[in-house]
């Protein structure tokens, strides 16, 4: 015979779960109030067991058939298990019982957004917004939908509404910074955070985001001041220390940056990014043993950190250990084969080792990956010039000019190669272009082909421009 037990409102959630599991074991029929059922459902949901949570809800619905909350929870679980049709069915039942419940429309909006039905998502989220007592979450979700649509201006407006509604919403502050960054509106971002700080001077998140905005505009002294305020308010704010270190690096204050990076270790465990950043500082100070030590610590923590492998190569290159440096450059390249810096370093190391063909191939890759690197075009052509292939030099620089039509350096090199190839008329034409691009750099022509300093025609043309 089944025995009924009733448990009172306000029962300990843990006790509710124990008694529920006892009921299942004994095949009994206990009565739980709605709150107890909610607690039991949440327990299984938090454990990542949606099947048991759904079983609880079936019991709950049988005992509390007019409680919309269980249909809402059922819908959330069906979303979790990606059974969206069932989720919509549950929401319809909830809407019939409690049409003014904001969560119904919030969940609908999220489902529609997952299906990329943005307009339907917005429509439901706006209904939820009208009904919700606490509007933060709905406003944030609306901003996410507009971000997914690529409408960052509208996303910003909802994030500002969110902050008007709750000035302490740090997630909204960080999202706003992200949107301003995408819109490339750092000035507007700075203005907003300054106004926000006037109202909330102890918001470490606002000071931090203000520091980031200054950093992106290259106002590094101001960014450091902002990070200092963030740290003053929240002493253990490791990200603020790290970004302050990055700003100090931009000001060539490498030892100060190292000291600040060290401070992050007091508030969070050392990580590969910080070790790599410290390695770069020691490298800039030409303390290569220390630099290599920190780069090694970085790759020990994260073997996929290509910049740290590259950094080890740089320290060895500095010590003229070119063959060894190549090994580490290649490790970096294996992780990121589209990084032009790695290809450039490999090209340079091969050149220093006298491997001209390998160097040429690597430079070819540099300009393919980054055709705006003027220095790479010049070096690439120089390698070919050393192999007496003047025709190819002319072709390389011509291609470089196509990609960098304002580079005087390339035009002067072009003139030199055209003279070397015997194309005198074309060389004189290109000299006019080079002089128009940057008259003061005409010395580059003589640096590369000193014999042209005695060429009267060239000297007359340059003097004509000078006058």
Per-residue confidence at 422, pLDDT binned at 50, 70, 90? Answer: very high
Is 1 a residue whose pLDDT tops 60? Answer: no
Which burial class, exposed, middle or buried, applies to 358 when counting CB atoms under 10 A from its CB (0-12, 13-18, 19+)? middle
Q: What backbone torsions phi and psi does residue 455 show, to the nearest 5 degrees?
A: -85, 110
CB atoms within 10 A of CB 187: 11
Q: What angle do CA 345, 349, 354 make, to 5 degrees?
A: 150
Look at domain 185-256 and name its CATH class. Answer: mainly alpha
- What are the domain boundaries of the chain? 185-256
Distance CA 40, CA 196 (A): 42
Q: Which tokens hold the place of 327? A: 């090994």
Matching residue, tokens 């032009």: 340
Give the pLDDT confidence of 210-264 residue by residue, as tens digits: 999 999 999 999 999 999 999 999 999 999 999 999 999 999 999 999 999 999 9
Mapped onto helix, strand or coil, the DSSP state of residue 6 is strand
Distance CA 12, CA 216 (A): 51
Per-residue confidence at 4, pLDDT binned at 50, 70, 90? Answer: very low
Distance CA 393, CA 384 (A): 6
Q: What is the structure's pLDDT at 87?
A: 84
pTM for the complete prediction? 0.76
Distance CA 241, CA 267 (A): 10
Q: What is the structure's pLDDT at 211?
A: 97
Residue-averaged pLDDT of the chain: 89
On whether the CB atoms of residues 136 and 166 are closer than 8 A, the answer is yes
Matching residue, tokens 């939908």: 145
Q: What is the structure's pLDDT at 9?
A: 42
Is 3 a residue whose pLDDT tops 50? Answer: no
Give the pLDDT confidence of 297-342 residue by residue, as tens digits: 999 999 999 999 999 999 999 999 999 999 999 999 999 999 999 9
Per-residue confidence at 21, pLDDT binned at 50, 70, 90? Answer: low
Alpha-carbon torsion, ordered 355, 357, 360, 361, to 10 deg: -110
Distance CA 43, CA 37 (A): 10
Is 24 a residue whose pLDDT tops 70? Answer: no
Is 40 a residue whose pLDDT tops 80? Answer: no
Share of the chain above pLDDT 70, in %: 91
Distance CA 374, CA 348 (A): 15
Give the pLDDT confidence of 78-127 residue by residue, as tens digits: 788 788 888 888 888 777 887 888 888 988 898 998 888 999 999 999 99
Q: What backbone torsions phi and psi does residue 7 show, to the nearest 5 degrees?
A: -115, 140
Q: What is the structure's pLDDT at 400?
A: 97
């Amino acid at each position: 015979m089944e025995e009924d037990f009733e448990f009172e409102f306000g029962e300990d959630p843990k006790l509710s779960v124990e008694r529920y599991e006892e009921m299942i074991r004994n095949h009994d029929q206990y009565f739980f109030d709605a709150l107890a059922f909610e607690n039991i459902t949440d327990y299984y949901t938090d454990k990542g067991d949606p099947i048991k949570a759904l079983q609880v809800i079936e019991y709950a619905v049988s005992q509390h058939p007019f409680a919309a909350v269980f249909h809402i929870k059922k819908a959330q679980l069906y979303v979790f298990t990606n059974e969206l049709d069932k989720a919509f069915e549950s929401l319809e039942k909830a809407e019939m019982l409690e049409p003014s419940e904001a969560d119904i429309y919030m969940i609908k909006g999220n489902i529609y957004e997952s299906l990329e039905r943005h307009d339907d998502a917005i429509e439901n989220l706006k209904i939820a917004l009208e009904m919700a007592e606490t509007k933060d979450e709905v406003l944030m979700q609306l901003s996410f939908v507009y971000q997914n649509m690529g409408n960052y201006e509208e996303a910003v407006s909802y994030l500002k509404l969110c902050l008007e509604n709750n000035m302490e919403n740090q997630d909204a502050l960080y999202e706003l910074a992200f949107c301003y960054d995408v819109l490339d509106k750092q000035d507007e971002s700075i203005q907003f955070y300054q106004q926000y700080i006037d109202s909330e001077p102890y918001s470490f998140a606002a000071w931090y985001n203000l520091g980031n905005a200054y950093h992106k505009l290259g106002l590094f002294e101001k960014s450091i001041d902002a990070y200092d305020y963030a740290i003053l308010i929240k002493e253990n704010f490791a990200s603020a220390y790290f970004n302050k270190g990055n700003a100090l690096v931009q000001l060539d204050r490498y030892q100060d940056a190292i000291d600040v990076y060290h401070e992050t270790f007091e508030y969070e465990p050392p990580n590969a990014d910080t070790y790599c950043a410290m390695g770069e500082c020691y490298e800039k100070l030409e303390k290569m043993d220390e630099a290599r030590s920190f780069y090694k610590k970085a790759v020990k923590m994260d073997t996929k950190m290509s910049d740290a492998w590259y950094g080890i190569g740089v320290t060895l290159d500095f010590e003229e250990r070119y063959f060894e440096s190549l090994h580490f450059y290649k490790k970096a390249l294996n992780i990121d084969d589209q990084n032009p810096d790695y290809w450039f370093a490999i090209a340079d190391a091969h050149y220093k080792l006298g491997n001209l063909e390998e160097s040429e191939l690597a430079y070819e890759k540099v300009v393919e990956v980054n055709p705006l690197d003027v220095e790479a075009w010049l070096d690439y052509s120089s390698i070919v010039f050393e192999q007496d292939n003047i025709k190819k030099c002319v072709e390389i620089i011509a291609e470089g000019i196509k990609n960098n039509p304002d580079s005087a350096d390339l035009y002067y090199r072009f003139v030199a190669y055209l003279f070397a190839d015997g194309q005198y008329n074309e060389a004189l034409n290109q000299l006019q272009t080079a002089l128009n691009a940057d008259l003061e750099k005409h010395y580059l022509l003589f640096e590369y082909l000193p014999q042209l300093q005695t060429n009267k025609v060239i000297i007359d043309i340059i003097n004509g421009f000078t006058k």
